[in-house]
Structure 1
Amino acid sequence: MMEGYWSLILYGIGGILATSVGLLVAFQEKLIYVPVVPGLTKSYPITPARLRLLYEDVWLRSSDGVKLHAWFIKLAPDSRGPTIVFFQENAGNIAHRLEMVRIMLQRLQCNVFMLSYRGYGASDGFPSQEGIINDSQAALDHLIQRTDIDKSRLVVFGRSLGGAVGAVLCKNNPDKIGALILENTFTSILDMAGVLLPFLRYFIGGSSSKGPKVLNRFVRSPWSTIDVVGQIKQPILFLSGLRDEMVPPTHMQMLYAKAAAHNRSCQFVDFPNGMHMDTWISGGDHYWRTIQSFLEENRGVFNLDFNALIIIY
């Protein structure tokens, strides 16, 4: 009887693992990347023109030839303030962030470049970690070629998945980007798998997780931000909503600890009522003043030498 009982348990565990591997292999991109929110369409519901914003449709080619769309929104035709490269969360498209960006322009007196990742909005292709990293580089290369902005004042702002994207871009371009802002970003997709699917926590996870983590090898988009932030040289501002219902706030604390151990120019600010998507709303005036102060305090680091840069395509 006991042998049969243990056999059933082992078969059950094996079945869970087999099913989990199958789901990871077949559907992981659909779980990580959500270009179309249920009930909405892939197309943009509005454009910046609806909010009376001065903007330009930008079409790019990623390094692997995928056609990308972006909006470059300017505060004014002759604006020479900071240019913020905004990387969005994993669900929906850039149009869903326009109200936040409208306020960002007013409060920070900046320009904003909004990229549609491949497979999102009007961009072609299908999302993947390697592809989106290439897309972000194409966006930066485009900005560096422009003559109507102050290229020594480029700042990357990423929320959630966008923080993982922005962190990689900053690590790869320490001489082109002046600062990084991370909001409600995860340590890694491996760690998030254990949060969203607790029964897998023993079989999948990041460097701080316990267990054999045998499913890690099947994850194609690990987005291990915890391993990237420790290599970033630019100033970093961490914005954490303590009521984040998607990414545990401990993830942001771990990211800050890892970065601050190697980078003295790190700041961590939390917002007691901030949830995953509304920290910029619930944080109110304090939220915007925090970012404004960070940009002003680090203005001196935006003196990058672009005369020495050579862009190769």
Structure 2
Amino acid sequence: MNGLSLGELCSLFCCPPCPSKIAAKLAFLPPEPTYLFISDEAGSKFSLHLTDRAEWQYTQRELDFIEVFKARTSKNNHIACAYIRCSPTAKYTLLFSHGNAVDLGQMASFYIGLGSRLNCNIFSYDYSGYGVSSGKQSEKNMYADIEAAWNSLRTRYGISPEHIILYGQSIGTVPTIDLASRYEVGAVILHSPLMSGMRVAFPETKRTWFFDAFPSIDKVPKITSPVLVIHGTEDEVIDFSHGLAIYEKCPRTVEPLWVEGAGHNDVELYGQYLERLKGFLTGDLTS
């Protein structure tokens, strides 16, 4: 998420922008693409080529576990999708919506490591305007993007909803919450979630204004699946209070993970992160 200048703050009060403008100012920071999709001779299949900026940590063997393709959204964009087969005995597949300043290439090593440790497969995608996905970044496109990813996971791979866990991180919690409010799934993980765009820009905001973007706080009461909320207590980007509020509004939350001393981008470095995720999958979801 990004901060706003004094002039931009004033313009918000004097002339409230449309949600897409708030979204653009607060959230979307697509990096220079760190990967390419290389098509075969027939043009029907793609392979993933990572640049040095992706900082890939594994070998070609692990890279071969990643199947990539493009999915068409209802907004007529074509988004990059990746299915990472981390475990032949995986019960769950995580539908992972990543943060705002990364793309699939940068996340690839993390996905391999996470899926292998949790015994889960991972399906992820790049938002419109990120990586090799076409279109522009916008709130509406985000919702269409995750819908296309969900449909691909269901139809292309035949995975049933009860075996899908929606995982959203930071801005990725926005489409995750939207989808979870409309479909029942195996579970939902919200990592550093935000209540809404205005509440990030103006922490004293107590209600959802008509021009607000990302009104997740109004959607979480509709989630019927089990929800695990994760947040660092020293988050300097999305204040810890957002995670608390989201947790309190979800009807079916399990014990949350509040990582003492963690900021916005280092929660995964704490031992209790992986420990809690394992407990969620093998304990909370089986009891």
Structures share a fold, TM > 0.5? yes
**Deviation, structure 1 residue 140:** 0.7
Shift in CA distance, 126/254, structure 1 to aligned 2, threshold 3 Å: same
2:257 pairs with 259, 262, 269, which one?
269
**2:69 corresponds to which residue?**
58
* Aligned-partner Cα distance in 2 for 1:149–1:19: 44
Indicate yes or no: 2:209 matched with 1:162. no
What percentage of residue pairs aligned between the two structures are identical? 23
The answer as to whether partners of 1:57 and 1:72 remain within 8 angstroms in 2 is yes
SS in 2 for 1:223: coil
What letter corresponds to residue 214 of structure 2 in structure 1? W
Q: Report matched runs for 1:1-313 at 5 Å.
A: 17-18=10-11, 24=17, 28-31=22-25, 32-36=27-31, 41-44=32-35, 45=51, 46=54, 51=59, 52-53=62-63, 54-76=65-87, 78-147=88-157, 149=159, 152-174=162-184, 177-195=185-203, 205-207=205-207, 216-219=209-212, 222-259=213-250, 262-263=251-252, 265-281=253-269, 283-284=270-271, 286-300=272-286
What letter corresponds to residue 231 of structure 1 in structure 2? K
Shift in CA distance, 233/255, structure 1 to aligned 2, threshold 3 Å: same
Richer in helix (by share) = 1
* Aligned-partner Cα distance in 2 for 1:154–1:102: 17
Q: TM-score, normalised by structure 1?
A: 0.74
The answer as to whether partners of 2:166 and 2:188 remain within 8 angstroms in 1 is yes
**2:47 corresponds to which residue?**
none
* Aligned-partner Cα distance in 1 for 2:181–2:152: 18
**Is there any run of 5+ residues in structure 1 with no aligned partner, and where?**
1-12, 196-200, 209-215, 302-313
The answer as to whether partners of 1:82 and 1:150 remain within 8 angstroms in 2 is no
SS in 2 for 1:89: coil
* Aligned-partner Cα distance in 1 for 2:182–2:129: 23
* Aligned-partner Cα distance in 2 for 1:230–1:23: 27
* Aligned-partner Cα distance in 1 for 2:277–2:104: 21
**Is there any run of 5+ residues in structure 2 with no aligned partner, and where?**
1-5, 36-50
What letter corresponds to residue 30 of structure 2 in structure 1? P
* Aligned-partner Cα distance in 1 for 2:69–2:55: 13
**Deviation, structure 1 residue 27:** 5.2
Shift in CA distance, 224/30, structure 1 to aligned 2, threshold 3 Å: closer
1:10-34 deviations in Å (ceiling 9; x for gaps): xxx9997447656946953432211
Q: Which moved more, 1:94-103 or 1:67-76?
A: 94-103
